[in-house]
Amino acid sequence: MYKRLKLAPKFILGMVPLLVVMAVAITILPDLFVKAAEHTKIQESKAIAERQANLQTFLAKHITGERPEDPNFTIKYTSDKYRNAKDAPDAWEKQMLQKYVQNPKLAEFSEVLDSNGARVLRYSKPLFIQEACLACHGEPKGQKDPFGHEKEGYKVGEFRGAISVAATMDGLSKEKVALINTAVTLVALLLTVIVMYIMVQKFIGRPLEDIVVSVKGLSEGDLTTRVKDNGSADEIGELTALFNQMIENQAKMVGTVHKTAVELAASFEKIATSSDHVSRAASEVADNIQHVARDASTGNESIADAAQMLRDLSQLIGAAKEQALAAAEKSRLTSQAAETGKDTINETVVCMDKIKHKTMETEDHIGTLSEYSQQIGMITDTITSLANQTNLLALNAAIEAARAGEMGRGFAVVADEVRKLAEQSNRGAGEVAALVRKIAESTAAAVKAMQQSRSEVEQGACVVNKAGDVLEDILKAVTDTVQDVEAIAAMTDREVDNSTRMVEVIHSLHQIIENTAANAEEVAASTEETSAAMETIANSAEKANAMAEDLKKTVSRFKI
């Protein structure tokens, strides 16, 4: 029950008995000292009265009229019928004589009176007539005794008077009584101070010493220290419980921050590794795209040559038609032109096959580029997820540091820097994702264009093969007979039309390949930008990793 009380009730309960004892001591002890002194005086007065009551002493003093000389006592043989003026009763003695008359059994009486500012002890003892007293105080009444005094007519056993003793109480003056009171008060106050010191030391001093030791350990980074709980429910007990709870919370917070720092360091290492992989992949994609652009440029040049050849073939076919109509003798020249046209067609077929193969290679490269773009997108998603997780961890660390108050302010600054770096990583990842989407769109367009180019090249190859077959027929016709010149002229008309269409087709193929080369250059530029963005992310990850390491070093100084 006592441990459940607060400090104030404890001190009150501890001080109330002491205050009661002190009040009793201040109230009673001075009276006890006074009464003891009075008792001593009374005993001395009794002793004097007993000596003076002795018959021989009384007779000697009474006859001679002498009185004992004592600086501390005044002795009288007082009576209502006194013979010596020195024995005349005063007011107090008259009252005592009256009391003895009224109460014959009263053996003595004493009290302390204030007389002119001084305390005086008054004591009286009654005197009764004995046989030896009758000679002077007996019968017959009025007869002269041996000393010339009239007899009072007393009988044995009758009340005669009293021995009165007055003693000054100088040893117990008001000043000394006040001094006694002061001394008793000082002793009581000293006891109060001692009890207060013991209570303060027990309920406040020792628990505070334990708290100071724990705070010293805490200042040195030891979060395992605890203050001993004595089970008290007072303010010191509450302070001890709250202090232990604070250390427990600090230990949990530091443990969480340390764990977060380790996780951040591992996450940023993964980010740096992933960024390096993405950067290398982007470099490879850029190289492949540049290779595609070079191949597209080469194919474009081949298509230009083929177009020029077809234009030349058209001109030759027109000339053959004019010569065939002019004369049969020019059939030989026509045959030679046909041979030349055949060779040209063969070369054109070879060129068209080359263009077809280059187009297929370009399509394969662009498909590879699309796969790399998808891989970059997956890595970017991983980076974004890691950045969001890092941002969340930094936010949790900032919240825990805010709960720590002043001690967690350094942790809050570090957590805020980590959060900013995570946001930068997230933005960089978003930029990379946007670039990857652009690459994917351009790649898809390039794949579609290359597929169309391959289809057109296949059609052109078919047309060129057909032209070769026609030239074979023309050559045979020229060899067999000149009469077929008109038929050949008609056929050359059709071949001129076909050559015109072929030129148009090849021109379209030329435009497609130019667009493919331009798109490849754009993809290469986007890939380079992606590589630069990944390098930025890698640098940010390295900085964040360094800050996470610093955070781990800062937290590691705490012992949890």
pLDDT in tens, 411-441: 677 767 777 776 787 787 678 778 767 877 7
E-assigned strand segments in 102-222 = 109-115, 118-128, 159-168
Q: What is the mean pLDDT of residues 474-499?
A: 66
Q: What is the separation of C-alpha 133 from the centre of its chain, rounded to a whole number of angstroms? A: 107
pLDDT > 60? residue 50:
yes
pLDDT in tens, 110-125: 888 877 767 788 889 9
pLDDT > 80? residue 95:
yes
Q: Which of 333, 302, 296 is nearest to 523 (CA)?
A: 296
Quick one: 483 exposed, middle or buried, by C-beta within 10 A (0-12, 13-18, 19+)? Answer: exposed
At position 218, the amino acid (one-letter code) is L
> Distance between CA atoms of 394 and 398, rounded to whole angstroms?
6
Give the range with max mean pLDDT: 51-60, 166-175, 510-519: 510-519
DSSP-derived secondary structure letter, 117: T
Q: How far is CA 221 from CA 62, 217, 428, 455, 557, in A?
A: 100, 7, 39, 76, 6
DSSP-derived secondary structure letter, 87: G
> Distance between CA atoms of 105 and 122, rounded to whole angstroms?
19
Q: Which helix (H) or strand (E) holds 78?
A: strand 73-78
pLDDT > 60? residue 23:
yes
Could you tell me the fold of the domain covering 250-556?
Answer: Ferritin (1.20.1260)
In the chain, the percentage of residues whose pLDDT exceeds 70 is 59
Quick one: 142 exposed, middle or buried, by C-beta within 10 A (0-12, 13-18, 19+)? Answer: exposed
List the chain domain ranges.
Answer: 2-194, 250-556
pTM of this prediction?
A: 0.32
Q: How far is CA 498 from CA 323, 384, 456, in A?
A: 20, 57, 15
CB 162 within 8 A of CB 93: yes
pLDDT at 134: 83
Say how many Å lie between the first and final Cα of the chain, rounded: 36
At position 463, the amino acid (one-letter code) is V
pLDDT > 70? residue 59:
no
Beta bridge partners of 76: 164
Q: Which two tokens stand for residue 280?
A: 């290398």
CB 167 within 8 A of CB 120: yes
